[in-house]
Amino acid sequence: MPITLPLPARLTRDEVVTWVRSVQPQFQQAKEHAEPIQVDASALKQFDSSALAALLAVRREAQQQGVVFAGVVGMSATLRSLADVYGIDELLDEGREKPSAGR
């Protein structure tokens, strides 16, 4: 079962550094228990592009720690659209099955 990192309701440039630092201990836990890390964005209501930077930082940290990044769950349509505009939507789905084109 993945270790879930919940995003706060607000994640803008003012909060992003604090949030990224706050989730660091979970990486050690994931590594010790050989568990993947995923981010839960379902509570996120107010954000800017800094939220995407935070998600990429989690992905990068997981790779550096040798932990599987299981992606982001609970993304709103707005957050998914922003990730698509920046061309990083597929990076945030890593570790999860993608729907096949024929379905």
Name the percent of the chain lying above pLDDT 90.
85
Q: How many domains does the chain have?
A: 1
Contact of 38 with 2, CB cutoff 8 Å: yes
Distances (CA, A) of 60 to 82, 93, 102: 19, 14, 31
Residue 19 lies in domain: 3-92
Residue 99 belongs to some domain of the structure: no
Question: CA-CA distance, 47 to 16, in Å (whole number)?
Answer: 10
Residue 102 belongs to some domain of the structure: no
Each residue's pLDDT tens digit, 52-91: 999 999 999 999 999 999 999 999 999 999 999 999 988 8
- The number of angstroms, rounded, from the C-alpha of 69 to the middle of its chain's C-alpha atoms is 8
Residue 60 belongs to some domain of the structure: yes
Distances (CA, A) of 16 to 5, 10, 23, 87: 13, 9, 11, 20
Partners of 47 in the β-ladder: 11
Task: Please state the pTM of the whole predicted model.
Answer: 0.87
